[in-house]
Every structure is written in structure tokens, then in C-alpha cells.
């Protein structure tokens, strides 16, 4: 067995690990970076990059089918070569991972270990035959798809967001169990590829953390594309039916019989096989590592970043975790998690961009509030593009004029939302947005108009 001492150990080469390794090595520290599977984590390999590459292919197919709406004629039906779609997706992901590996390899004083890391003590980690010791250890182990113990689930072959990336045939009928962000992106893209798609969701509405008007609009968008959606689906169970899979739910409804089943029912942190108990690191009842506002765990000298700490389930929050840790350790800059404004996107078409509080949260807060709302049918850029589904909504504190939150569901919503998000970080009043002159024609040019037309939230 080989024993070696480093200044720091980083377990996991996802979105926070490699940039932290870069900062630490640039500061003269020696770093052991450990990755059990693929450098880049979920985002590069099974999440953001490959799925958004597929979303782009799905959009191209959808737009081609709508060519006549724009006065464009195509000869014959629009076809989809799923193997070519997968090859394109794989190239995007592989290129990104290769670039990341090259960057890590070029870091002075950084050693990349391939294998499964487990704690031996609070400052010692075993990786295969190597025993590594450091005064500072950073966990960036990410998460994986949750697989609930539903009746019959172990009797079928099911897909998760990760194994979907290996699928090389187009499903005849994809049954998606779950009605949140990941599931809806897959549902829409595979419908556009040509699969029959059914979504089964236990809650009474899709993406239940969003406001009801957002959920209803997303439901309408999906159903307009021929996706079957079942809401309030209790007692979900699975069974083989010949070469296919029957998904039954809620007495009285016919089962959905599909060629493939995707389980999109949340995420589980990768913390159960790290021997955290030997280090004394505290986890909560769901397995997330407990951290303070600067991402320190219950054990001095150990930090947790990214999906494994339960402070955010996005690439951008993981990267921000790295920034917070580096700022505190290296820059004497006391950044903290609570400074972060919640922001994310749903990459359906049209996409949803979200930041700050929802209308539901504002109402629960009891504060007096103002609201501005504009449908995409009254946004010139959306009309010109022939993409008028969705709306924009801004929420403002009636007393302080602070912007509380915003939803942009429509073309470019994932980009336009940053106009509001940046103002929220600047703590600028809504009057700053109202007085801004945005470029015409653009979806975001209507945000100042909305800010000028606020009304009391009834």
C-alpha cells in the first residue's frame, strides 16, 4: 500500500472540484483530486451538456415540421436519425470531458486518482491501494437518480437520466414517471423525436414547486405537442407485459404500456459509500452532508460542495460553492451561501427562467406586493418568431420596491431572466428596471414595460 501526504484532497471532479484544484495549486498547494468515474460529473457526462445537445436536435426537428408556418416548403416528411442525434450528443460531452482532463493534467502539483475514495479517519482517505492524507479535504461527490421502492420496479428494465444517455434506439412509447424538471425535458424532446410519450405524476400538477399559472402553462405546452399527462397518479406499479412494460396507477385508469420507462423521481446524494462515519461527518436524514453558510462540515478541515450538500442541485450552484470556498480560504473574502439568490431554468421549449421568490412564496410571506404580468402574445419578438406560448411575471415588494422574483416562460426565457437576476443582486429598486432602455426587438425589452405597469397583488 502506498501512503502519500498532500496539502489538500478533493473527492469528486464535478463542477466544483477541478476549478478548486486550479485555485489551490496556483496558490502553491499540492492537491490529490479523486474521481471514481468520469471527470466533469453529471453536467458534462449525463446532465446539462448532453441533454441540452439533444434538446437542440429536438428543436430542429420541431421547427422543420413547422416550416410551412414560416412560408418554407420541404419535400417529404421530416425524419429523425436517432443514432446521429446520439453521436452528436456524445461528441459534445466527450469533447468537454477531454478538455477538462487536459486542463487537470496541466495543473502543477495536482495528482488525479481514479477510483472510489473512502474515509479512514478525518484526514485520511483510501483509494484502491493508495492511502492519502491531508489537512484539508473537500467533498464534491454529486448525486444520482433516486429509485423509489415502487411495486414491480425491480422486475422491469427501467431508465434513469444517466442511462438515457446510453440509449441508442428511439422508444416506440416512452413512459415517464415523474413530472418535474428532468422528466419534462425528456418528455418533450422524445416526443419531438417521434416517440409516443406519457407522463405520470403523483402530484395534482406538474413542477409543483412553481406557481400554478406556470404549471398550467407548461401542461398546455406539452399537451399541445401530443404528450399524454396523468396527474394525481397514486399507487404506481410496474409489470412486464410481453416485451413491453405496463405502468398502472390510481384505480380506475387504464395502464400506460410502453416500450421504455424513465424514472425521474428526484436525486440521491452520493454520500452513502464514503465511510463518512469514520470521519465524523454529519449527514441529514436524506443523506445530504450538513454544512454551514461557508460550506464547512461538522468536522474542522472538511468541506462539502455541490449536490452532495443539499444547498442546490444545479451546475451553477455547485460552481458557486467552489467560489465561496476559494474566496474564504484564499481571498479573505467572507462569501456565503445565504448571499445566493435562487435561480434556475427548465429547458423545455419554450424555456422557463426563474429567479427569487414565487408568487406563492410571496403570498405566504404576508408582505404587501406588486405584480406585473405580460403574455408572450403581447411580446413583439415572440410574435415575430411564431413562438407565443408563455408569459412573464415580476413580483415586487410594495413598500421597499425591491424585486422579489421573476418568471419568464417564453422564447429566450433562460437568458432574459438574468436582466432581473442581476438587478436583484445589485439590490436595485424596480424603478431601475422601469427606466432601462432595452434593445428592440427582444423578449427582454418588455421587462421595463412590465415594471411600469405593476398592480397590487390581490
- Looking at residue 313, its pLDDT comes to 86
Q: What value does the mean pLDDT take over residues 437-454?
A: 97
Residue 319 has pLDDT above 90, yes or no: yes
Place of cell 405502468: 247
- Looking at residue 252, its pLDDT comes to 66
Q: What value does the mean pLDDT take over residues 217-225?
A: 98
Dist CA 392 CA 398 (whole Å): 19
Q: Which tens digit of pLDDT belongs to each residue from 65-105? A: 999 999 999 988 999 999 999 999 999 999 999 999 999 99
Dist CA 264 CA 179 (whole Å): 8
Count Cα atoms within 13 angstroms, Cβ side, for 379: 31
Q: What value does the mean pLDDT take over residues 56-67?
A: 97
- Looking at residue 251, its pLDDT comes to 67
Residue 275 has pLDDT above 70, yes or no: yes
Phi and psi, residue 138, nearest 5°:
-120, 130
Residue 254 has pLDDT above 90, yes or no: no
All structural domains of the chain, each given as residue ranges with its CATH number in brackets, are: 2-144+268-339 (3.50.50.60), 153-264 (3.50.50.60), 344-456 (3.30.390.30)
What percent of the chain lies above the pLDDT cut of 90?
A: 97
Beta-carbon count within 10 A of 366 CB: 7
Q: What value does the mean pLDDT take over residues 15-21?
A: 97
Q: What is the pTM of this model?
A: 0.95
Q: Which tens digit of pLDDT belongs to each residue from 397-427? A: 999 999 999 999 999 999 999 999 999 999 9
Of 185, 145, 193, 150, whose CA–CA distance to 42 is shortest? 145
Residue 253 has pLDDT above 90, yes or no: no
Phi and psi, residue 334, nearest 5°:
-80, 60
DSSP state of 452: H
Q: What value does the mean pLDDT take over residues 108-133?
A: 97
Point out the residues that are catalytic: 440
Dist CA 45 CA 112 (whole Å): 18
- Looking at residue 2, its pLDDT comes to 81
Residue 182 has pLDDT above 80, yes or no: yes
Residue 261 has pLDDT above 70, yes or no: yes
Task: Grade residue 133 by pLDDT with cuts at 50, 70 and 90.
Answer: very high
- Looking at residue 70, its pLDDT comes to 97
Distances (CA, A) of 423 to 94, 315, 353, 397: 36, 22, 15, 14
Count Cα atoms within 13 angstroms, Cβ side, for 452: 9
Phi and psi, residue 7, nearest 5°:
-70, -40
Q: Does residue 391 sit in helix, strand or coil?
A: strand
Distances (CA, A) of 359 to 212, 217, 254, 271, 352: 9, 15, 36, 34, 15
Amino acid at each position: 500500500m502506498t501512503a502519500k501526504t498532500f496539502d489538500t484532497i478533493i473527492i469528486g471532479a464535478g463542477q466544483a472540484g477541478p476549478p478548486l484544484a486550479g485555485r489551490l495549486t496556483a496558490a502553491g498547494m499540492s492537491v490529490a483530486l479523486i474521481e471514481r468515474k468520469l471527470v466533469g460529473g453529471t453536467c458534462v457526462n449525463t446532465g446539462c451538456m448532453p441533454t441540452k445537445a439533444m434538446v437542440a436536435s429536438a428543436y430542429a426537428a420541431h421547427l422543420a415540421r413547422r416550416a410551412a408556418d414560416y412560408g418554407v416548403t420541404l419535400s417529404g416528411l421530416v425524419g429523425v436519425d436517432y443514432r446521429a442525434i446520439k453521436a452528436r450528443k456524445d461528441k459534445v460531452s466527450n469533447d468537454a470531458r477531454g478538455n477538462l482532463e487536459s486542463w487537470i493534467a496541466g495543473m502543477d502539483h495536482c495528482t488525479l486518482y481514479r477510483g472510489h475514495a473512502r474515509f479512514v479517519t478525518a484526514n485520511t482517505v483510501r483509494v484502491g491501494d493508495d492511502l492519502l492524507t491531508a489537512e484539508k479535504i473537500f467533498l464534491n461527490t454529486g448525486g444520482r437518480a433516486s429509485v423509489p421502492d415502487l411495486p414491480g420496479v425491480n422486475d422491469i428494465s427501467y431508465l434513469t437520466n444517466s442511462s438515457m444517455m446510453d440509449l441508442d434506439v428511439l422508444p416506440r412509447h416512452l413512459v415517464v414517471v415523474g413530472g418535474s424538471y428532468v422528466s419534462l425535458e425528456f418528455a418533450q424532446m422524445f416526443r419531438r423525436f417521434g416517440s409516443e410519450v406519457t407522463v405520470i405524476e403523483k402530484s395534482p400538477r406538474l413542477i409543483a414547486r412553481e406557481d400554478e399559472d406556470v404549471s398550467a402553462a407548461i401542461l398546455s405546452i406539452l399537451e399541445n405537442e401530443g404528450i399524454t399527462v396523468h396527474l394525481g397518479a397514486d399507487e404506481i406499479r410496474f409489470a412486464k407485459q410481453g416485451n413491453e412494460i405496463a405502468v398502472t396507477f390510481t384505480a380506475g385508469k387504464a395502464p400506460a404500456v410502453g416500450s421504455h420507462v424513465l424514472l425521474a423521481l428526484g436525486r440521491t446524494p452520493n454520500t452513502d459509500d464514503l465511510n463518512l462515519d469514520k470521519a465524523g461527518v454529519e449527514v441529514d436524514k436524506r443523506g445530504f452532508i450538513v454544512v454551514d453558510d461557508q460550506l464547512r462540515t461538522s468536522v474542522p478541515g472538511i468541506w462539502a460542495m455541490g449536490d452532495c450538500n443539499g444547498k442546490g442541485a444545479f451546475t451553477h450552484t455547485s460552481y458557486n460553492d467552489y467560489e465561496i470556498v476559494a474566496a474564504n480560504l484564499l481571498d479573505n473574502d467572507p462569501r456565503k451561501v445565504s448571499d445566493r439568490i435562487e435561480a434556475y431554468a427548465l429547458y423545455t421549449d419554450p424555456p422557463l427562467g426563474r429567479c427569487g421568490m414565487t408568487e406563492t412564496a410571496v403570498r405566504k410571506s404576508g408582505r404587501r406586493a406588486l405584480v406585473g404580468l405580460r403574455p408572450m402574445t403581447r411580446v413583439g419578438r415572440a410574435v415575430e418568431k411564431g413562438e407565443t406560448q408563455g408569459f412573464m411575471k415580476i413580483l415586487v415588494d410594495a413598500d421597499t420596491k425591491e424585486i422579489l422574483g421573476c418568471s419568464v416562460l417564453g422564447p429566450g426565457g433562460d437568458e432574459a431572466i438574468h436582466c432581473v437576476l442581476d438587478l436583484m443582486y445589485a439590490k436595485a429598486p424596480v424603478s431601475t428596471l422601469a427606466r432601462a432602455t432595452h434593445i428592440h426587438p427582444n423578449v427582454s425589452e418588455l421587462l421595463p414595460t412590465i415594471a411600469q405597469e405593476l398592480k397590487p397583488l390581490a
